[in-house]
Amino acid sequence: MSNEPPQHRRVAGYGLFMLTLVYAFNFVDRQILVILQEPIKLEMGLSDAQLGLLSGFAFALVYITAGIPIAYVADRSNRRNIVALALTVWSGMTFVSGFAQNYTHLLLARIGVGIGEAGGSPPAHSMISDYFPPHRRGTALAIYSTGVFFGVFLGFALGGVISQYYGWRVAFMAVGLPGILLAIVLVLTVREPLRGRWESAAEAAYKPTLAQTLRHLRALRSFRFIAAGSALASFVSYGTGNFAPSFMLRNHGMEMAEVGIALAVFGGGGGVLGTLLGGYIADRRGVHDARWYLWTPALFGLLAIPVGLPYLFMQETAVVLGFMFLTTLCLNTSIGPTLAVTYSLVPPGMRAMTSAVLYFITNLIGLGLGPLVTGYLSDTYTSWAGEDSLRYAMLTVGLMGAPSVLFYVLAARRLQFDLPVEGGSAGRAGPPD
C-alpha cells in the first residue's frame, strides 16, 4: 500500500481529472477535421491524398517538431501553465479554422492547432508521473489517455450533427471556443506537483541537457523497440481511423450525423475500454514482472489482426461497427503500459523530453504517414478497385502495422537490462523509501 496522505490523493485525483479533460479537448479539436473531411472535400474539390496531408502529415510535422523545445522548457518550469497556454492556442486556431476559404487557409490553421497541441501531453505526462507513485502510473496514464476517446466521441458526435444541420464551419467554431474557458479554470484550480516526488533528491534535482537525454534514450535498446512498436501501432490507428468516417459514408451509405454518433459510440467506447483495460492489466501483473507492461500490448496487438481486418469486407453495418469496437479496444491497450514503462526508464528531469521524443517518433510515423499513406493508396487503387479503393487501402495499412507485436516482444526481452536498479522501476510495488 502507498503511504500517500489523503490530501495528496485528492490533489492528484483532481489534477488527473482536469488533465484528462484537457486531453479530451485536444482530441476534439484534432479529430473534428476527420468527421468533416467529406463536406470539406466536396466544397474545396480535394483528393484523398490532400485529406491525408491535411489531417496527418502537415499537422504531425509541426506537432512533433514543436514538441521537443516545449518539453525542454517543461522539464525546467511550471508545467501547468504550459498546458494552459497550449490549450488556449490550439482552441483558438480550431475556432479560426471555421473561417478558412480555401485549402491553404485550412492547412495554415491546422498547423496552428499542431503548434498548440505540441504543448499538451509532454508536460501533462510529467505532472502525472509526479502525482502518482510508480505502481499506480500505468492506471493513471491510462485514465489520462481515455481523454483521446472522450475527445473522439465528442468530436465525431458534435462534428457530425452540427455539420449536417449548420455546416462544417460552424462545427469548427463550436468546439474551439470552450477550450479557452477551460484554460482559465486549469490555471486557477490545478496545483503544480512537486517534481520528482517519488524519486531520490539526487534524481529529482538532475536537470539533463537535450543531448544528455538523447544519449540516455539511445543507449536503451528497450526504448528503441518500444518506440518502434508504438509507432507501427499508431500507424494503423491513424491510418485507418482517420478514414473511418469516409469509409462508412462511401461504403455503407450512412449520413453524416449517423456516422458521427456511430463512430463516437463504437470507436470512442472501444478506445476507452481498451485503454483502461491495458493500464489495469499492466499495473496488476507488472507489480510482479515489469515485462507485463510490454506483453500486454503485444498480446492484444496480436489479437487485433484477426479481429480488425475482416470487418473491412463485411456488408452488414451493425456487424462492421461491432468489429470496429473490438479492433479499437485491442489497439489501444498499449497506451497506458507504454507510457508507464517508458517513464520508469528515465529520471524525473527527463520525462517531459522523453515524452516528446516518443511522441516525435510515434506521431511522425503514425499520425504523419498513416493518413497520408492511406489516402495515397486509396487514390492509386481507384484505377482497379473503383469505389472499393479506400477499403483496400485500409487493409494494406493494417497489414503494414502488424510487426508492432514483434517489437513489443523484443522490448520485453530487453527490459530487465534497462530498468534502473533503484528509482522508478515499473515493477516496483510501492513508493521509494
Please report which residue ranges of 221-332 form alpha helices under DSSP H. 221-241, 244-252, 256-286, 292-308, 317-331
The domain spans of the chain are 10-191+207-418
Rounded mean pLDDT, 133-145: 82
**Residue 183 has which C-alpha cell?**
484554460
- CA neighbours closer than 13 Å in the CB half-sphere of residue 8: 13
Q: Which CATH number fits domain 10-191+207-418: 1.20.1250.20, 1.10.540.10, 3.40.190.290, 3.40.50.720?
A: 1.20.1250.20
Mean pLDDT (the chain, rounded): 85
At 249, the amino acid letter reads: L
Over the stretch 328-379, which tens digit does the pLDDT of each residue have?
Answer: 899 889 988 998 899 889 887 787 788 778 888 898 898 788 888 998 999 9
Convert the pLDDT of each residue in 64-94 to its tens digit. 788 888 888 888 889 999 999 999 999 999 9
Q: Give pLDDT, residue 24.
A: 92
pLDDT tens-digit readout, 27-46: 888 778 878 888 888 888 88
Nearest to 116 by CA among 32, 25, 230: 25
Name the pLDDT band for 421 (thresholds 50, 70, 90).
low
CA 363 to the chain's CA centroid: 9
Note the pLDDT tens digit of each residue in 175-229: 888 999 999 999 999 998 887 776 666 665 667 777 888 899 999 999 999 999 9
pLDDT over threshold 60, residue 427: no
- CA 38, 40, 46, 50 torsion: positive or negative? negative
Residue located via cell numbers 517513464: 343
Question: And the C-alpha cell for 275?
Answer: 485503454
Instruction: Give the pLDDT mean for 261-287.
Output: 86
Q: What is the DSSP string of 121-163?
A: HHHHHHHHHHHS-HHHHHHHHHHHHTHHHHHHHHHHHHHHHHH
Half-sphere exposure of 336 (CA within 13 A, CB side): 35
- Is pLDDT above 90 for 235? yes
Write down the pLDDT at residue 277.
92
- Distance from chain centroid for Cα 373: 19
Q: What tens digit of pLDDT does each residue of 96-112 get?
A: 998 988 888 888 888 88
Tens-place pLDDT, residues 110-125: 888 888 888 888 889 8
Say how many residues make up the chain. 433
Per-residue model confidence (pLDDT) at position 5: 63
Concatenating the DSSP letter of every residue in 266-284 gives HHHHHHHHHHHHHHHHHHH
Residue 201 confidence (pLDDT): 61
Q: What is the DSSP string of 164-185?
A: HHH-HHHHHHHHHHHHHHHHHH
Which pLDDT band, with edges at 50, 70 and 90, does 150 fall under?
confident
Per-residue confidence (pLDDT) for residue 230, from 0 to 100: 94
Q: Report residue 433's pLDDT band, with 50, 70 and 90 as the boundaries.
A: very low
